[in-house]
Structure 1
Amino acid sequence: MDLIVISILAYFLFDDLNLDINYYIIYLNIGWVFTAYFLKFYEIYRFTKTIGIISKIIKQGVIFLLIVIAFFPFSSQAIFSVERIAQFIIYSLLLITISKFFLFYCLIKYRLIVGNNCRYAVIVGYTPESIQLKELFETKKDYGYQFLGYFSDKKTNQEIKGNLLDLKTFSMANQVDEIYCSLSEVSNSQLKDLLEFASETSKTIKFIPDTKEIFSKNLRIDYYDFFPVLSLKDTLLNEPAIKIFKRFFDITFSLIVIIGVLSWLAPLVAILIKFESKGPILFKQGRPGIDEKPFYCYKFRSMQINAVSETEALKNDPRVTKIGKFMRRSSIDEMPQFVNVFFGDMSIVGPRPHLWSQNKAYGGKIKKYMKRHYVKPGITGLAQVSGYRGEIETEKDMVNRIKMDVFYIENWSVILDLKIIYMTIVNILKGDKKAY
């Protein structure tokens, strides 16, 4: 379907550019297939997330654009048209994206409504991790997994269908598609036997690691001569190329906001602040940045001058001015932080910078709290767009915020940054009840 779309669009958009259109269409088809193969464009599974599909489309689109352009320098008679190329890429990716998501969601609805297109699964081992996987099968109905039972040599209860010897007979009789194996429950010889059985019967075998905390992170494999060694990568954000890209994005984005918005907004806000209360226009406060290096975080002053600065604003806080309430609700008070971004103290997206008092209170109590200092703090972050902004009323509020921050650090992607920026804008327009 995708190749048909590419061929038809190429014929109508490039036919009058002095190209040998038939050869060019063949060239585009081959280019698309090779790109799709190396980028694994069609490796989309029932458990693939929407953001993963979008990421594949963007990568495929960028590389394919280069392939489209690369043909022209080798054809002396061809007319290079930026407009036609832009139309071709936009229309082709739009149609391919629509068809891709249409098929993806049709299959989900098909599985939910009809009950077909299912995968029958069993689990070897009865561990907390295997129980979590079974619960996931039951709650994520759109994945289309039918759980048939546990098999274990070490434990017995009504949920366990039998031992490992019973597994083979059961799997053949019930047309099991996938076998999930808990590594803590099988010996090396049993594991080898299961692998041979899966290979002989064309069944898929997958493994449930007991060290979930380790295996959920990014793993890098290095070879010492021919010996493979696994090491953990805490975050892609520490990679030099990613640092350069993110810094370039921060500078570009912050400059656009500073020139396009702050240049006229700052004088207007300054007049309103001065009109209502005495004191400076900007409020600066020391915050811990990357590697806990101190920096001054800037905001438009939204409170009356007071001696207490190391406490959060509370609901109906008497210190907040009238114009301050509006600025906080609309997040206008945060706008000067784009200057922080431009000078490199902050990033557009990242964990929000906490107060020093919060670092002292929670740093030793909450697991992975200090990991948020691996990266630059952000104007907005995953925790904020997920509903964990504002006042910390209980320790659980902070725990939830840290979970979101750590997830962002360990699973960063360009798409995730763009999604957070989009959700921030939506929340500002809709209004956030915790924005006080």
Structure 2
Amino acid sequence: MRNSYRFFLTFLLLIIDFGLVFLSVYLFVTPMDRAEMYGDWYSFQNGLYISMQTWFIAVLYLQLYRNFSTQGFTGLYRSSWRALLIQQIIYIAYLNLNPSIFKGEVLIQQAIFTCTFLLATGLISRILITFLGWYYEKKMGFKNSVAIWGFNQTGIELAAQFETHASDKKFLGIMDENQSFDFTQKKDLHKRLREAIKLASVQKIHELFICVNPQMFQDVKGLFTLADEYCLRIKFVPDILGLYPDNSVVQNVHQFQAISLRDEPLEDQDNRFAKRFFDVFFSLLVIIFILSWLYPIIGLIIKIQSPGPIIFQQLRSGENNEPFWCYKFRSMRVNSDSDKIQATKHDKRVT
């Protein structure tokens, strides 16, 4: 029942959003403006089609409706205004690049009216969806209660995720919090888990997440059978974080989890793009505003100290151990051992 109401709210939100996009184009392109901007009804249909397509691209990129299903109303409000901003940018950019479809005399005016209309009606629709969600969850009891058993690093981090994101669940906390259990025998842990399942049923918990060391698992099938008897859903979350260093990172690789010693930010494509953009942009600033006047001065000093080129090139190892040429100001006299012998203290080659 809870899944049905969540699906209903998501589907209702989708219909409302696309309906509002249609109304925004229809209402704020008056009959006079249509003739001026689009020429005929067929072109107006094209404009309407573009609006729908750009909104679809925006919500697909931000995964708006998926975030609503997984993160609740917090994710919905956060993603909605971003989707509207992206949609308007793409829409206006496309029409400016295609003047045959849309004349730009009233483009700014229509964009302001459309954006204001969508902001106002979008906010109202989300308040309505929030109220419906509150009514179903509070008044009709469609909010499942979940709890965690396993007071360890994995259990604590999972609890933090429930408290932050799982608005469609009623999180009751960690059942064995502040209790100290040091299980050395699998049978002792198994007995304790059976007791936890029975206690969870008494407390009317719908779903129990069990966070334990996978090496201590015993008769997991029997625990699932016992949970079914008490109409309780259990899910095992292996406590692998406690087996590795604190700075280790768990990543999902298709259907598997991979553990690495540290996080590698440059494995993310967005981070690589941001770094490359910063490198190029900052380098251009340095070249234009600093090297443009500093290079001749340094070059003159190098020439005075010793004859030879101003720039020295050296082979270095880069990404994936691929060699590349590094260019820098020469700080030594020209010699045949520059690529073989590193500089040392009181090196006679240094100028």
**Under a length normalisation based on structure 1, what TM-score does the superposition of the two structures give?**
0.39
Larger Rg: 2
Q: Which has the higher helix share?
A: 2
